[in-house]
Amino acid sequence: MTPDTDFTPWPEVLARTYREAGYWQGETFPAWLAGLAGRYGDRAALRAGDLTVTYRDLHARAGRQAAHFAAHGLRAGDRVVVQLPSVPEFFDVLFGLMHLGARPILALPAHRAGEIAFFCAHADAAAYVTVDRHAGFDHRGLAREVRAAAPALRQVFVLGDAQEFTPLTPPAGLPPVPATPGEAGGVALYQLSGGSTGTPKLIPRTHDDYLYSVRASAELCGLGGDTVYLAALPLAHNFSLTSPGTLGVLHAGGRVVLAPQPTPDVTFPLVRHEGVTLTALVPALLQVWLHVARRDASALASLTRVQVGGAPLSPDVARAVPDVLGAEVQQVFGMAEGLVTYVRPGTAPALACTTQGHPISPHDEVRVVDDEDRDVPDGQPGHLLTRGPYTIRGYFRAPDHNARAFTPDGYYRTGDIVTRLPGGALRVTGRHKDQINRGGEKIAAEEVEHALLRHPQVAAAALVGLPDPWLGERSCACVQLHPDPAGPPARAVARDLAAHLRRLGLAAFKVPDRFLILPDLPRTAVGKVDKPALRRCAQAAPDLIPAAPR
Ligand code: OOB
């Protein structure tokens, strides 16, 4: 029996509503994939370099990958941490695990030993799936550290040169196994929360709710067999996976093109060569695309729409998209916990560039409230609370956090400050949660602060975001040291602190961009660190110390 801290179900009365409305169709991912293979057969589903994977192949490859996993002891119900770059095997593993009834935990390529070991231990993961090397980093070394820290881990599968680990690729000729029957109301996979607390949270998504968001996203974005989608962002992220992302494109019978890197030197030739019609970018990446396309956009002729989300998009940048890229801009605001809003295609530019659109579902319930959870009128900013047919009711094994992150009647406290305009469109105007959004990559301040405090010289630490023209925000660690008149100079301390965070296995994007060493940190009347004051102080400080090169 699953302990109830693993998964918080929707109340039965709402579950029935979602089924009756046709949102939850009782279909599992393996059944969905088999359906796609039947419907679209020999059409190209994936393109990666010279490789074409048809819909029929995609299904067969999942069955073979499942057979390989089963031969190495994986079973239905096992949780498996998956960390792969943008390679076709990502889909073999995702669908292969689900074929077996096992549950992928979707880590990002940027995660390091600290995060991966935590996911493995917290989820009692049976296996970790990774790649030999990626972006100059040896993931087998990471796997060794993880195995030492998570003894329950039974298997490590490595794509490429596996060394002492199990090769990820099934042996030639291995026949597919039939799919393990599963419950559509059960957990299909785990997404990861950007979070604002000391440890990242796991987000259980069911077959019913996740597939609903995929189908509905594909439909409202008007995807079809002629959609050619460039997957430029990490495949595991909810935006590029389901909003409508690669899964939405597969649902519609379109073609997914995998970009090994998101930058124009790689992506522009791919757009030209593959006839890409649609892609999804974070604002920081969009700015790089615009910068390059201002000189030469001739490769982008096939592009009809660019989706932008994950972080605030400046209206001026949004307005430049049609002229410079020759494509419509579509803002997407969403979260791995569920709720996704889209500016509907065809919306007038004045609104399309300044709002983040409407929720997917007529049954998405959105409240905008003040600090006491009282509704505020339309047009005024407030905290965004939401519940609905694809928004979770609780994180995995986090009862204390759940009590704070959800209202008693099941609304998720998003931590975002929004304004609802007359007509229902949402505009994201700020953030209440203690998080830094570094070009779409989310950093929970508390996680970095806890890690800094583990350094023997650190007496107090606070991480704040500073405005940045490219990334939106950069992080600055404000640190108070234990008194030591003979201590090293600030610059050496900063270098040491950055090295300390890397040694703890923190992803590089979480290592502060800047350090500010202060004699003490400003406090509020109740003794908490006064972050607004610190932010002002850091912005005014002439002597922020950059971290060593990443
Ligand atoms: C997406 O998901 P997450 O889980 O990485 O991050 C969610 C948070 C939101 O709560 C909000 O703070 C921020 O990212 N955010 C935006 C935004 N889209 C996300 N802030 C301002 N404007 C936007 N358009 O980031 C995500 C998931 C699915 C679809 C799109 C994005």
Please determine, for the modelled complex, whether the ipTM score is greater than 0.90.
Answer: yes
Question: Mean pLDDT over residues 59-81, rounded?
Answer: 98
Predicted pLDDT at 481: 96
At 3, the pLDDT band (50, 70, 90 cuts) reads low
Q: State the pLDDT at residue 460.
A: 97
CA distance 105 to 80: 6
How large is the average pLDDT for residues 126-144?
98
Q: Which residue has the higher pLDDT, 545 or 506?
A: 506
Which pLDDT tens digit goes with each residue over 230-242? 999 999 999 999 9
Helix, strand, coil percent values for the chain (each to nearest 5): 35, 25, 40
| Percentage of the residues of the chain whose pLDDT score is greater than 70 | 99
Q: How far is it, in rounded angstroms, from Cα 481 to Cα 151?
A: 35
Collapsed DSSP state (helix, strand, coil) of residue 89: helix
pLDDT confidence of residue 549? 56
How many angstroms from the chain centroid is the CA of residue 459?
Answer: 33
Please tell me the residue having the least CA distance from ligand 1 atom 8: 335
Alpha helix segments (H runs only) across 72-151: 89-100, 113-122, 139-149
Pocket residues for ligand 1 (CB within 6 Å)? 194, 238-239, 243, 309-312, 331-336, 340, 356, 414, 416, 428, 431, 437, 442
Work out the pLDDT band at 490, boundaries 50, 70, 90.
confident
Instruction: Give the 3-state secondary structure of 51-83.
Output: EEEEHHHHHHHHHHHHHHHHHCCCCCCCEEEEC
- The reported pLDDT for the residue numbered 4 is 80
Nearest CA to ligand 1 atom 25: 310
pLDDT tens per residue, range 318-368:
999 999 999 999 999 999 999 999 999 999 999 999 999 999 999 999 999
Provide the pLDDT for residue 548.
62
Task: Write the residue with the smallest CA distance to atom 20 of ligand 1.
Answer: 311
Q: Which residues pair with 495 in a beta bridge?
A: none
Query: What pairing do the DSSP bridges indicate for beta strands 187-192 and 458-468?
Result: unpaired
Integer angstrom CA distances of residue 462 from 479, 521, 527: 7, 8, 13
**Residue range 366-418, pLDDT digits in tens:** 999 999 999 999 999 999 999 999 999 999 999 999 999 999 999 999 999 99
Ligand 1 closest atom vs CA 415: 10
Residue 486 phi, psi dihedral angles, 5° rounding: -95, 10
**pLDDT value at position 550?**
58
Q: What is the pLDDT of residue 195?
A: 86
194 C-alpha to ligand 1 centroid (Å) = 9
Instruction: Tell me the pLDDT of the chain averaged across its residues.
Output: 96
Ligand 1 atom closest to Cα of residue 332: 24
Q: How far is the CA of 29 from the centre of ligand 1 (A)?
A: 24
Atom 22 of ligand 1: nearest residue by CA position: 312
Cα–Cα distance, 120 to 61 (Å, whole number): 26
- The residue whose CB lies within 8 Å of the most ligand 1 atoms, and thus the one to mutate among 314, 333, 473, is 333
Residue 343 backbone dihedrals phi, psi, to 5 degrees: -70, 125
pTM of the model: 0.97
- Residue of 219, 273, 271, 274 lying closest to 249 (CA atoms): 219
Structure confidence at residue 11 (pLDDT): 98
Measured in Å, residue 444 CA sits from the centre of ligand 1 at 14
